[in-house]
A = this chain, B = another copy of it.
Amino acid sequence: MQLTRYTDYSLRVLIYLALQEEGTRVTVSEISEHFDIPKNHLVKVVHHLGKLDYINTTRGKNGGICLAKKPEEMGVGDIIRKMEHNLKIVDCQSPSACPILPICLLPSILSRAGDAFLNVLDQYTIAGLLSQSGQLKSLLGTGEMSDKYQQIKTRSID
């Protein structure tokens, strides 16, 4: 019973962006390095978050991404609903259509359970995840660059 890695990464991207000073734009490479997530995975996530109007993208030399709205306006439940490609808890069509599907009670019960799951997450926004923003910034090495990020930057210049 897991969310996809895709949704997980989208939450990490939004948390990272929400920790930036207003007006700051960051690159996908920076997020990739800070979370140690392959950049090609993040590019897809960021593109999708852009299409959903969670983030703004600016191209060019000083370009980058930033939040398109306030973290207070980003419900965790909504993000999950939009990023999960499939909210069906079981796939009754696999490996072929389940023969009892027309009258099986399980899909509706699982759907009700899925709603209960999302209803809990509807009580939280990205802003609500940042209560220890100072420590989060420190752990991510954002704002003041961490040793780790400094090393990566130095390596990439070399």
Q: Which residues of A contact B (CB under 8 A)?
A: 1-5, 7-8, 11-12, 15, 34-38, 76, 80, 84, 86-91, 94-96, 98-100, 102-106, 109-110, 112-114, 116-121, 124, 128-129, 131-132, 135-136, 139-141
Contacts and interface: CB of A to CB of B under 8 A. Distances in A.
Instruction: Give the number of copies in the complex.
Output: 2
A13 to B, nearest CB: 12
Nearest to A129: B105
A135 B103 contact: yes
A104 B109 CA distance: 31
B129 A106 contact: yes
21 contacts: A1-B1, A1-B80, A1-B117, A2-B86, A2-B90, A3-B110, A7-B90, A8-B90, A15-B100, A15-B104, A15-B106, A34-B99, A35-B99, A100-B136, A100-B139, A103-B136, A109-B124, A109-B129, A113-B116, A113-B121, A116-B119
